A = this chain, B = another copy of it.
Amino acid sequence: MEKISIDRNAFLYPMPVVLVGTKSSGQVNFLTVAWVSRVNYNPPLIAVALGKTHFSSAGIKECGEFSVCVPGKDLLEKVDCCGLVSGKRVDKSGLFDVFYGELGCAPMISGCPLCMECRLIETVDLPTNNLFIGEILSAWTEERHLTDGKPDVRKMEPLTLTMPDNRYWSVGETIGRAWHDGKGLLPRLKGKKT
């Protein structure tokens, strides 16, 4: 099939959706973010990309702390709302029951199946965004979201996002085992002379 070039402002399919929790001048705020990724295994680091002018960016710069909360699909309306309006204009904290772990500026959401509290370790200055890299100090869940002691995506029911069609999607069926299902192809690969 013929390859065609499309808008270079292309996206990943699908993107995970999280709520980033911050405190700015004492105000708890939550921002919907899909530009988020783990970036280092040990210590566990996570990066979130936020617009430089966002209220949440000011909070992270002020406090050096933030949270990353993974919402379930029962929170879809509230998740979307937190991406529609700035904490500069309204107080979004009343949408959620908030709890804290060890950090005072990393508010977390009781209704989210997984929350991570993070201490900022590096800020990467990009053209319009800041990439905030945080060390995950603690991760919080509830027994009902676990299977064999591990978070179970079927119980958490997280959201994913696609752009530019701007749709939320659930997670579908399990279709394979990672670091396993490709083993049958290994004999086909040619070894290199060393």
Residues of A within 8 A of B (CB): 1-16, 18, 35-47, 49, 68, 70, 73, 76-85, 88-92, 94-95, 99, 101, 110, 114, 116, 122, 124, 126-129, 131, 133, 136-144, 146-147, 149-153, 156, 158-186, 188-192
Contacts and interface: CB of A to CB of B under 8 A. Distances in A.
A185 to B, nearest CB: 4
Nearest to A165: B150
Max chain B C-beta neighbours (<10 A), residue from A8, A110, A161: A8
A9 B41 contact: yes
A161 to B, nearest CB: 6
Contacts of A190: 90-91, 94
A116 B131 CA distance: 21
Contact of A178 (B73, B168, B173, B175): B168
Given A153-B169, A167-B174, 4 more contacts: A37-B49, A39-B49, A92-B189, A168-B177
Q: Which 9 A-B pairs have the closest CB atoms?
A: A81-B182, A80-B182, A10-B139, A172-B172, A170-B172, A37-B37, A168-B176, A90-B189, A39-B49
A99 B1 CA distance: 12
B173 A141 contact: no
A131 B46 CA distance: 11
Given A13-B114, A144-B1, A181-B77, A47 B47 contact: yes
